[in-house]
Structure 1
Amino acid sequence: MHGSARADAVLFVVSAYTLSKRALDRLETAAAGAATGLARLIRLEETGPSLIDALDEMRAEGHRRIRVQPLGVPFPESLMSWLPGVMADWRTRGQNADTWLELGPDPATDAEALLAFASATLAHPDPAQPIADVAPRLGKPGWTDPPDFEFHLLVCTGPRCAIHGAAPFTHMLKDELKAAGVFDRCLTTRTGCIYPCNRGPVLALYPHGHWYRLPDQEATRRFVREVLVEGGTAEDLRFHTARAVRDSHTPKQEAAQ
């Protein structure tokens, strides 16, 4: 299959850590209207189908020529460099080598398109809103102090963890915390990349300083039960402990040697 063959399906990919359902719907509508054939749109971060899952679904539907098109300005240059390798890896799985993939250009490299986009914002039919009568504020009263918690769970929802199964992980973790009765004892924070990307899905537990790889529901359930409920460490799931925690458990004489 040759690179000159026209893609029969387009997978638009968006990088946005905060995106409302309404905004996502607008993007999906625009993507569908722009493509001549089938078009899908996914977020590379947070929840939803990952790039790998979306490609699997499109191939299962019979598409054998797929264009992956970054959408958004600016689109992270680091992801533009990362995407080709992920797409190439996908083609090594199963029978995926029969599917031609191509990566569309970074939209921010088209000067005319950028000019048109900037001009469109100034020509928007909705008028600009004056703020003369808006009360000054930098935040809300509830943003002053953190909520009370026993466990701070940092959950990576970055694109590199997403391809390792992190996309549905946040919801699965929430369900397991509730089922075990410890949801209110936890402050769960979704994060961008916290490293190491190859270990995804990654969860960091503080103040304990332990890092875990939780690849599936069974591992997640064990983490909740053995670590949060029973106070253990689930050694086979843990792959790292923060230096400060390691040092605090090192005898002083041993540390001085």
Structure 2
Amino acid sequence: MENLIKYNDDDTVNIPFGRVAEWYISNHSLLKNIRLKCQSRKKTSELVNKNIIAVSRVEGAVDYIKWNTKRGSAKSTNRIDDIIKLTPEGDEYVRQIEAGEKKDKTCWYWVMYCSGDGNSCQHECGEIGSCKENCANYFLPNNIKNYHDMHLCKVRVISESKLSWLKKEKPLRIKIIGSHLPINTLASHTPIITRLNLSRQIRDNIIINRRADHKTAKDIKAKLLALYNNASENELREALLKNQKTLCDNTKLRSFIMYDD
């Protein structure tokens, strides 16, 4: 995957659409073993409705929800490994952009952010693990106004793409900004994540195994732990703490399987 990443001078990277996007985010030093939440993906649906771009799922993607709107349109949840391509109308639009006849348009803009699990991050108001007394969020449950409030940490993952970039080999640009803690702090960042935090690819594999082979939680867990067959109990415990994108405990796994069922 590393060879598919182009590192830019402005601290951004350019990558292809697909699995490499999640791989890069999951393996970034700031983002390992933290849980990311996300805002709504912007600009994409508008251009899909205008038949300028089309969105497809990466091969093997099954972990998403589909529904129909009241108007009969099919909708589904977004994924960071979604793939965007130009339609014939989109190709013509880009030709006009290149000719200077039309302005370029953003076709993907998505902000993800650290969930602040474990009260170990610096909040937007400046306090670590909690809010300052004069903060507007101080008296709110969990110090957030709603589920999408980004107040609990300053780390952001911003991904974007434009129509003119879609003909390039690496059309998705990602920038990671902020930090969990101030540089000069003595506190350590130790997030305590109680929710399932497996990567999309691992979730896909679990669902496929479950649906195709009717594997039990025990069977799936054995497959996830195949690399740790000869590990000691302490090593397994350490792996569960440090590799939450690829491993999870029995309780979380059963809950995920029950949810899919």
Q: Structure 2 length as normaliser, TM-score?
A: 0.25
Higher helix residue share: 1
